[in-house]
Structure 1
């Protein structure tokens, strides 16, 4: 019975590892695609940075205002 439990534990651990590797793979693919787009269209880098900064500021401001 203990061997079966250990086998199930190992199976769940391997399944969890596989899901984590899939997430990392998808993230890496997205980063590579973004970097290639930035190389191809340098103006996107500036627009993306401004949009990200504005989003962070707006979300911080909203949180601040909601808390008061």
Structure 2
């Protein structure tokens, strides 16, 4: 448990992510999770057209 708490202390803002390149789209994770749950599927089961609705590109507005 102490080891895990020490790990948390290394990230004071609570963010545990790797930065993505600026040219990569962002994924609306919560919307994607809600959609998949309502359909009873996994994100990997979505067609590319379905997945596209959850991607935000640099030219898109959030």
**Shorter-normalised TM-score: what interval?**
under 0.3
Answer 1 or 2: which has greater strand percent.
Answer: 2
Greater relative contact order structure (CA < 8 Å, 6+ sep) = 2
Structure showing greater radius of gyration is 1
Answer 1 or 2: which has greater helix percent.
Answer: 1
Give TM-score scaled by structure 2 length: 0.27
